[in-house]
Structures are given as C-alpha cells and as structure tokens.
A and B are shown apart, each in its own frame.
Chain A
Amino acid sequence: MAFRNDDDKKAYWKENLSLLAKLLVVWFAVSFGAGILFVDVLNNIHFFGFKLGFWFAQQGSIYVFVALIFVYMSKMKAMDKRYGVNEE
C-alpha cells in the first residue's frame, strides 16, 4: 500500500472530496448562479461596459473555470506530497 496507514488513506480521500466540493461550489456559482439563475438581477450592475450577468455568462465564467483547474492542480500536488503518494 502506498499510504503509511489506513487513517492516512481515509484522511487523504476526505480532504480531496472537501476540496472538490469547495471548487465545484464556485464552478456552480459563477456559471449556473451568476450566468443563468441570477442573470437578470446582476444585469442591473454595470461592469466595464458590460451588464454583469451577461459578462459572467459569456466571459467571466470561462476565466473562472480555467483558474479552478489550476488551483485544484496545485493544491493536489501539495497534498500528494504531504501524504507521500506523489509520483516520482
């Protein structure tokens, strides 16, 4: 087994799931939240010449998506190392 012990294995998976949950909440909030469900409310706010809701739907959510993946990548890299399950 790659983990030092069973507790580590459980803790690693739990930590991974909680990171996933946090990032997916952001994922949902920018796209389905700001871009779709609350688009009309946000459209009352003006943002660099855009209506904010429209901007999230056609620009902003995409930038956030890219950032989310890189955040996940770097957090997981550190976590793999901490638990000693990283690749050589």
Chain B
Amino acid sequence: MDVQLLTFIIVGATFALYIAIAVWARAGSTNDFYVAGGGVPPVLNGMATAADWMSAASFISMAGLISFMGYDGAVYLMGWTGGYVLLALCLAPYLRKFGKFTVPDFIGDRYYSQTARTVAVFCAIFVCFTYVAGQMRGVGVVFSRFLEVDIVVGVVIGMVIVFFYTVLGGMKGITYTQVAQFCVMIFAYIVPAVFISIMVTGHILPQTGFGATLADGSGMHILQKLDNLSVELGFHEYTSGTKSTIDVFFITFALMVGTAGLPHVIVRFFTVPKVHDARKSAGYALAFIAILYTTAPSLAAFARVNMIETINGPELTGTSYEQAPSWIKNWEQTGLIEFNDKNGDGVMFYSGDERNEMKVDRDIMVLANPEIANLPAWVIALVAAGGVAAALSTSAGLLLVISTSVSHDLLKRNFAPNITDKSELFYARLAAGVAIVIAGYFGINPPGFVAQVVAFAFGLAASSFFPAIIMGIFSKRMNDKGAIAGMVAGIAFTAAYIIYFKFVNPAANVPENWWFGISPEGIGTLGMMVNFLVAFIVFKFTDEAPEEIQELVESIRYPKGAGEASAH
C-alpha cells in the first residue's frame, strides 16, 4: 500500500475515534462543560494534561530545535517540564481546594475585585489566542504534506473536528478525547525514535542510546561524534551552547514559571475529584510528558548525525544531487529543504560556514525523520496522525479556556449574574464556536508574528498570573491593590521589553543591547520579580485583606472538605 493511502486510513481512523468519544461524553451541565463534572480519574487526567500541554510545537518542532541548538535546547527541555514541579507543589492542590472553574475566578474572588478578575480574563484570552493560531497552522502543515490536500482544506477539516467535540462535549468531551490523542501522539513519537536508536546505536531505548557508542563499530560515542562533526563543519560544539549562562538561566526560569501560570494547564486540575488527586495527576502528567521530553533530545542527536551523513556522505565530501534520496526531493516541494549549488559541481554540502549549500528547516527533523531513516510506510503515516493529534488536543484545551472566560468570567460573573445554567451553557458553546472560527482564520492567514508572540504568552503568564496566584495562596494578608498593581506593573514591563525588541526595533535585538544580557524570551523572569516587588510595596502602604478573605486563604491550605468545583 502506498504512503498516502495508509496515511488517509490511519488519520481517518483516529478521527473516527475522537468523534465516537465526543458523542459518548456529551456535556449536560456547565459543570460538565467547564470541569468535566469534576470526576476525572487522576491517571486519565494526567494523560489529558500531557496531551493538552504538548502542542504541535512540542511534537513537530522541539526535537528539530534542539538538534540545531545543541546544549542550548535544554532551555525548552527543563523549562517546559520544571514548571510542573511548581504546579504540583505550589498551585494545583490549593486551587483545587478553592474549587472554582477558572483562573480569573480565583484571582477575582481571592482579591475581592472585579478589576482583578477583568485583568485576568483579558490576559487569559490573549494568551490562549496567541497559542491556538499556531496550532491550527500546525494541522494545516501536516495535512498539506502528508495528505497533499490544500492547506485551507486541512485547516477546515481540523476546525470541524475540534468544533464537534469541543462544542458538544466541553471539558468532558475534550478530556476523554485527549486521553486517546495522548496515546496516538506518544506512540507516533516513540516508534520512529526506537527504530532510529537501534539503527544508530543498537540500543532499544533512545534515552540510553543517546549516551552510547555508534553501531558502526568505530567505538565512538554518539555525542563525541556529533561534537567532532559540528566543529569540523563550522558549527559550535554540540554539547556546549552559544547563549550566555545568564540568558539560559532566565529563559529557563521564565518558561518554568510561565508553564505554571498558563490558564489552560491550571484549569486541568479543577477536573479531578480530590485535592490529593490534583497532586497525583500533576505527577502523572509530568511522567507522561517526560516520555516525550527525554526522547526528544536523543532523537535530535540521532537525526542530526543521520542528516549530516546523508547529505555530506561518510567522508564528508558531499554527495551527488542527482542520486539524492527521495526525501530530499519530497521535502524540497514544501520549501522545508533547499539546495543551492553555489560552486556548480552538482554535489550537496551542508555546513555552518561559507561552504554551505543547503537550507534545512528544523521541522524536518521529526517530520522527515522516518523517511531519512528509511522506515516503513506505516511509520510515516503514524507520524502524520501524531502531529494532528498534538495540534488538535492543544487547540481544544485552549478554545475551552477562551469560551469559559467569555461565558463564565465575563457574562456570568460580570454582565448577567442571574443567567440560568442552561443559557450559560448555550453561551459557552456559542463562544467556543466563534473562537474556533477566529482561530481557523488565523490558521489559514497566519499573521507573521506568531513565532514572535510565543515569548509573549510565557512572559505574560510568568509576570502576571504566577505571582498573583502564589501570593494569593502563600500570603494571607496580600490585598487587592497590591495584587492588581503587581500584575499591571509585571505585564507592562514585560510587554514593553518584548514589543520593543520584537516589533519596534528588531534590529537592536542583540545581546549587547539587552538588559543584563537577558533576551526577550527570558524577560518574563524579571517581570515576575517586578510584579512581586511592586505588589509588596503597594501592600505595605494599604490595608491588608479583610478577615473573611484571610479565612478563605486558610481554608484552601488543607485538603479536607474539598467538594466538587462549583460556581458558588
């Protein structure tokens, strides 16, 4: 059977599965729609959280990024996992005990302030839209390469599927679909990685193969080989980076804290029955995420060796373009790989200096990996299904936060407090529908700034939500004025820095001009400190939080009496 037919069958089968789950898990109430009735078992919630968290970027782009960055790729590996420790220890159990539906709910109630709630709602909506536009694009890319349909058709198919199970099932539908998507995604990631690990090093586990010697009998460790190749070809040594230590530190910290402050991640911990389950499901979530995140750097190393040797040949003299393997020709059509025969000898050569004749996009490392390694056709089809699963699961989680923010935080808590459960549910569905259409529009007409605004999403979450929630739990007396001033100062500082270097004056975006050598990606860490500091100063000059709020804070600090999440 040819690759395309197989891909249609496998992707089609996964879609049928998602739809069947959606029909089975329809939402009957706002409680179902917002927090899946609060009855999701921790292991399943862990899988759903992992699928929610690992986006098209994690699945498609991360290994490629690492394989080009070498050691510096650690900022993503540690940054996007370490945040779960903060979540499990400092946020999730307390927020579960608090027992509301959304992050703005917590901020609004804890700081007894509609202003705080409204600031939080707008941050949440902005962060989620930033994210979701990229996901829809990811769906489009996978469809157009593997199924050879038009990118617009690809995005529309993705929209219809997400629309179906988000609008019908809400959080309940999404959660159980995400469990299935997690399984598809992780299987699709591990299978090619295991194949390649065996091929390159003879180890079944990519995690141990990463440190092993090459299977070609040379007795050289793969990382040593990669260091040698990199230096010979004019790249930096693979196991050391090019970023400054302070920048690596700040970026990693901003990503960790940002992860712990992202609303679509936090909301997942409202869906489990008990406080203990919130701690447990954070543990499971990270364990499931770690499967992919410890495989990715191994895959990055294998793929890089493979790619360099395929293009440059075993003697590093280059190989003939005429006899190039079919994956180079296949991916040339998508523009992800280009050959520019500068010296006109018909021989391809890839390097980090002036000898270079190839342009290789980092996304190719995962998408084309099965072809580079000559794996069977069904593995290629599986990777397509995995990429789509990663993009769909994250989109759905984000869209739900957007719809909840609109129907619950804005409508129910601000404009129409007397609305019935049934009509609130209707508005939640309506908002989800509208959000999908907007996200789809951005997927088809991607704004050029999607890549730039990702730093925004993390910076914003790090400098606004994270400090506000931490202070709300660990300080009984922190008041509304301190928290609002802190959030506004943190966001304003972070946003100004990012906007200046990314949009106003991108030419100045070099280490010499950065404050303390901190890049815009890492500035959220400083923004978080500004938030804490401003909040503390304002708090010192204003009245502490009222008695009933202090009691509320005390009551979320121990598990007993956590009922199901409710609006009242």
Contact = CB atoms under 8 A, between A and B. Distances in A.
B294 A59 contact: yes
A45 interface: no
Given A66-B290, A87-B274, A32 B253 contact: yes
Contact of B560 (A16, A54, A86): A86
Contacts of A51: 223, 239
Nearest to A59: B294
Given A69-B84, A69-B89, A48 B276 contact: no
A72 B282 CA distance: 11
A83 B297 contact: no
A70 B248 CA distance: 27
B117 interface: no
Interface string B217-260: 00001110000000000000001100001001100110000000
B208 A24 contact: no
B211 A55 contact: yes
Looking at A40, A43, A61, the one whose CB has the most chain B CB atoms below 10 A away is A61
A69 B560 contact: no
Interface stretch (B70-78, B107-115, B494-502, B535-543): B70-78
Interface string A15-37: 01000100110010001100111
A51 to B, nearest CB: 6
Interface in B263-313: 274-276, 279-280, 282-283, 286-287, 290, 293-294, 297
A49 B223 contact: yes
Nearest to B273: A87
A59 B297 contact: yes
B252 to A, nearest CB: 7
A77 to B, nearest CB: 6
A20 B90 contact: yes
Interface stretch (B377-385, B396-404, B551-559): B551-559
Given A58-B73, A87-B560, A66 B283 contact: yes
B561 interface: yes
Interface string B351-383: 000000000000000000000000000000000
A41 interface: no
B155 interface: no
A3 B557 CA distance: 11
B78 A13 contact: no
A62 B558 contact: no
B212 interface: yes
B558 A54 contact: no
14 contacts: A9-B558, A16-B557, A20-B89, A32-B249, A32-B253, A36-B74, A49-B211, A51-B239, A54-B239, A62-B290, A70-B283, A85-B560, A86-B559, A87-B560
Q: Kindly list the 8 A-B residue pairs having the minimum CB-CB distance in the complex, ordered from nearest.
A: A49-B211, A57-B74, A69-B283, A85-B558, A58-B297, A2-B560, A85-B560, A69-B88
Given A36-B74, A49-B222, 15 more contacts: A2-B558, A13-B557, A23-B85, A35-B74, A49-B211, A49-B213, A55-B211, A58-B71, A61-B77, A62-B77, A66-B287, A69-B286, A77-B276, A80-B276, A85-B559
